[in-house]
């Protein structure tokens, strides 16, 4: 077994649990769905990720958006300009600090995104509702653990 750059981390992974592999498949399916949604809306994948973040977390400042996307401030400015020109986002004054700007998805972008994602969301909800209360609790706890691991 070869060792990785840290000299104690092997380049190969151990045999992974079925649930770990299933999570990787869900992540891949999510990337594919984002790519299809971005094509549907006529924007690139990073722009679609920005819209998704704004939908999920609500309006935020450009610096926070840049941080969540993992891009630099000048790049997020160009991204916001592009999305604003296409009518997908709008800039408003920050509610507590008029020197700052907040970016939010427009109602039109919200409707277009929801129209595209609705079938997937409803299918996932149907699968979720088929779970027993104990299964639901186990799945939710597991997914929270997965999110914590991915954010660490």
Residue 124: inside a domain: yes
Looking at residue 94, its pLDDT comes to: 74
88 lies in a domain?
A: yes
CATH code, domain with 120: 1.10.10.10
Q: What is the pLDDT of residue 2?
A: 53
Please report the pLDDT score of residue 11 as a whole number.
Answer: 77
Look at the chain and report how many structural domains it folds into. 1
Please tell me whether the overall predicted TM-score, pTM, comes out greater than 0.95 for this model: no
Give the chain's residues under pLDDT 70.
1-10
Note the pLDDT tens digit of each residue in 88-107: 999 988 777 778 899 999 99
User: Any idea of the CA torsion for 85, 34, 110, 54, to the nearest 10 degrees?
Assistant: -80
pLDDT of amino acid 135 = 98
Domain that holds residue 96: 39-151
- pLDDT value of residue 88: 95
Torsion sign over Cα 56, 61, 67, 71: positive
């Amino acid at each position: 077994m070869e060792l990785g750059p840290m000299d104690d981390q092997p380049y190969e992974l151990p045999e992974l649990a079925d649930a770990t592999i299933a999570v990787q498949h869900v992540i891949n399916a999510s990337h594919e769905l984002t790519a299809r949604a971005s094509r549907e809306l006529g924007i690139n994948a990073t722009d679609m990720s920005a819209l998704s973040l704004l939908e999920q977390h609500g309006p935020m400042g450009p610096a926070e958006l840049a941080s969540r996307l993992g891009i630099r401030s000048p790049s997020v400015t160009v991204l916001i300009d592009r999305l604003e020109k296409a009518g997908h986002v709008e800039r408003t004054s920050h509610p507590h600090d008029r020197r700052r700007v907040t970016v939010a998805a427009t109602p039109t972008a919200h409707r277009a995104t929801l129209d595209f994602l609705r079938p997937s969301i409803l299918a996932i909800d149907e699968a979720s509702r088929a779970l027993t209360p104990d299964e639901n609790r186990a799945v939710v706890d597991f997914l929270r653990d997965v999110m914590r691991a991915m954010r660490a």
